């Protein structure tokens, strides 16, 4: 207990900072909205590989000639890879052959010297379902966690943990609204993983708070919480560091498709680390958690003794 940083002393400041962050994230989300990916909006994307740097203007012209003037054409990763996007067409019948038509045009224009890398077509009804299911999944996950933590600790801890999670999710999603990085299915998975990760962090701190409430008879709840956060601080930082190490590796080496997934997790881990230090315990304290709420009742002792 050498390094004692007065985390809880700055809790008012932290609360203000968090509130500002969450509110501005919400503001950005409502103002700019998310740049939903194909999975959610529906539409068609086609990734094509060329043998030499591709001429986007030429491709656009070729596509316009073929009746696809509204296609968005851009480089993907390198100048030899081209990504073509088409918004879903309302009321058009046979959409399934769209990708084949486009590939046909491009292949014809370049004497067949292209390579199909990837085609994704998602019908608009699928996208709509995913948006709903995704939101539901998030709520289910939070609910399941709420129940488990309430069962293992106490309801105020449970609510604080969920507040911290909502905080992390909102800021991470807000980041995506701010940067307009594409929000696709893998990002949603990453956000759910952030929930798991951040909770992991929070639980470790709570666990120590519970232990110290029982062990240290002197001191206020605030002091004990501060001690607990300090005790778990190096663990929190080391784990975040190792996780960030692999995420950075994933970001730089995992390829274009996994980029936004890695970004979501990197943001989420950083925010999650902050929230498990400043937000979760803070919220629990504000809700009036006291030593008496966690008097040993023998049930948990048994579990703790298993090696």
Partner 1 sequence: MNRYPLWKYVLIVVTTLVGLLYALPNLFPEDPALQLTSSGHQVLTREDQQQIERLLKQKSLAYKSIELEDEKLLIRFLDPDTQLAAFSLVQEALGSRYIAALNLAPATPNWLRSLNAQPMNLGLDLRGGVHFLLEVDMQAAVAKAIERYQVDFRNTLRDAKIRYLGVRSHNNELSVKFRNAEDRDKGLAALEKEFRMDMVIESADEGDTPLIKAHLKETAINEIKRFALKQNITSLRKRVNELGVAEPIIQQQGMDRIVVQLPGVQDTARAKKILGATATLEFRMVDEQADPFAAQQSGRVPPGDRLYRERNGQPILLKRRVMLTGEYITDAASGIDSQNGGPAVFITLDGKGARLFSKATAENVKKLMAVVYIETKPDGRKVEEVINVARIQEQLSKRFQITGLDNTREARDLALLLRAGALAAPMQFVEERTVGPSLGKANIERGFTSVTIGFVLVMLFMAIYYKVFGLVADVALALNLVFIVALLSMLQATLTLPGIAGIVLTVGMAVDANVLIFERIREELKNGNSPQASITAGYDQAFSTILDANITTLIAALVLFTFGTGPIKGFAVTLSLGIISSMFTAIFVTRGIVNLIYGGKPRLQKLAI
What is the footprint of partner 1 within residues 168-187 (CB under 8 A)? 185-186
Of 61 and 119, nearer to partner 1 (C-beta) is 119
Decide: is 292 part of the binding site for partner 1 (CB under 8 A).
no
Q: In this structure, how many other beta carbons lie within 10 angstroms of the beta carbon of residue 137?
A: 16
Of 20 and 246, nearer to partner 1 (C-beta) is 246
Of 15 and 137, nearer to partner 1 (C-beta) is 137
Q: Which residues does residue 115 pair with via DSSP β-bridges, in sequence order? A: 49
Determine the Cα–Cα distance for residues 218 and 187; give it in Å rounded to an integer: 46
Of 33 and 255, nearer to partner 1 (C-beta) is 255
Q: Pick the binder of partner 1 from 160, 172, 228, 243 (CB under 8 A).
A: 243
Decide: is 255 part of the binding site for partner 1 (CB under 8 A).
yes
Of 218 and 299, nearer to partner 1 (C-beta) is 299
- The least CB distance from residue 122 to partner 1, in Å, is 5
Decide: is 260 part of the binding site for partner 1 (CB under 8 A).
no
Of 93 and 288, nearer to partner 1 (C-beta) is 93
Residues from 26 through 55 that contact partner 1 (CB under 8 A): 47, 49
- The least CB distance from residue 5 to partner 1, in Å, is 16
Q: What angle do CA 70, 76, 79 make, to 5 degrees?
A: 105
Q: In this structure, how many other beta carbons lie within 10 angstroms of the beta carbon of residue 251?
A: 18
Residues from 132 through 161 that contact partner 1 (CB under 8 A): 133-134, 136-137, 140-141, 144-145, 148-149, 152
Decide: is 115 part of the binding site for partner 1 (CB under 8 A).
yes
Is 117 exposed, middle or buried (CB count within 10 Å of its CB: 0-12, 13-18, 19+)? middle
Q: Pick the binder of partner 1 from 17, 26, 150, 250 (CB under 8 A).
A: 250
Q: State the Cα torsion 166-167-169-173 to the nearest 10°.
A: 130
Residue 74's nearest CA partner among 66, 65, 63 is 63
Site string for partner 1, 191-210 (x = CB under 8 A): -xx-xxx-xxx-xx--xx--
Q: Pick the binder of partner 1 from 95, 131, 214, 291 (CB under 8 A).
A: 95
Please check whether residue 60 is in contact with residue 71, taking contact to mean a CB–CB distance below 8 angstroms: yes
Residue 184's nearest CA partner among 252, 118, 79, 262 is 262
- The least CB distance from residue 234 to partner 1, in Å, is 6
Of 197 and 213, nearer to partner 1 (C-beta) is 197
Cα–Cα distance list, 137 to 129, 131, 168, 176, 258 (Å)? 12, 10, 16, 19, 21
Which residues are CB-neighbours of 119 under 8 A, at least 6 positions away? Answer: 44, 45, 46, 47, 99, 103
Q: Pick the binder of partner 1 from 15, 21, 116, 287 (CB under 8 A).
A: 116
Cα–Cα distance list, 246 to 107, 124, 199, 307 (Å)? 39, 35, 19, 29
Decide: is 131 part of the binding site for partner 1 (CB under 8 A).
no
Q: Pick the binder of partner 1 from 58, 79, 220, 242 (CB under 8 A).
A: 242
Q: In this structure, how many other beta carbons lie within 10 angstroms of the beta carbon of residue 99?
A: 19
Decide: is 3 part of the binding site for partner 1 (CB under 8 A).
no
């Amino acid at each position: 207990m050498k390094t004692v940083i007065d985390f809880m002393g700055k809790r008012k400041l932290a609360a203000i900072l968090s509130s500002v962050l969450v509110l501005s994230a919400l503001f950005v989300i409502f103002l700019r909205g998310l740049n939903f990916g194909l999975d959610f909006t529906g539409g068609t994307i086609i990734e094509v590989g060329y043998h030499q740097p591709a001429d986007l203007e030429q491709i656009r012209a070729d596509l316009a000639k073929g009746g696809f003037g509204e296609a968005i054409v851009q480089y993907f990763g390198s100048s030899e890879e081209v990504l073509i996007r088409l918004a879903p067409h309302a009321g058009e019948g046979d959409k399934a052959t769209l990708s084949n038509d486009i590939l046909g045009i491009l292949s014809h224009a370049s004497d067949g010297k292209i390579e199909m890398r990837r085609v994704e077509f998602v019908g608009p009804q699928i996208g709509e379902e995913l948006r709903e299911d995704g939101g539901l999944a998030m709520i289910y996950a939070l609910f399941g966690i709420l129940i488990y933590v309430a069962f293992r600790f106490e309801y105020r801890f449970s609510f604080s943990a969920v507040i911290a999670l909502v905080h992390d999710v909102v800021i991470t999603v807000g980041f995506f609204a701010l940067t307009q990085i594409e929000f696709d299915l893998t990002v949603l998975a990453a956000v759910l993983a952030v929930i798991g990760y951040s909770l992991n962090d929070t639980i470790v701190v709570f666990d120590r708070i519970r232990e110290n409430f029982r062990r240290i008879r002197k001191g206020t709840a605030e002091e004990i919480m501060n001690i607990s956060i300090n005790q778990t601080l190096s663990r929190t930082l080391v784990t975040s560091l190792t996780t960030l190490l692999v995420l950075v590796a994933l970001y730089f080496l995992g390829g274009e498709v996994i980029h936004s997934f890695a970004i979501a997790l990197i943001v989420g881990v950083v925010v999650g680390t902050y929230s498990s230090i400043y937000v979760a315990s803070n919220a629990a304290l504000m809700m009036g958690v006291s030593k008496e709420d966690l008097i040993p009742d023998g049930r948990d002792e048994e579990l703790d003794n298993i090696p």
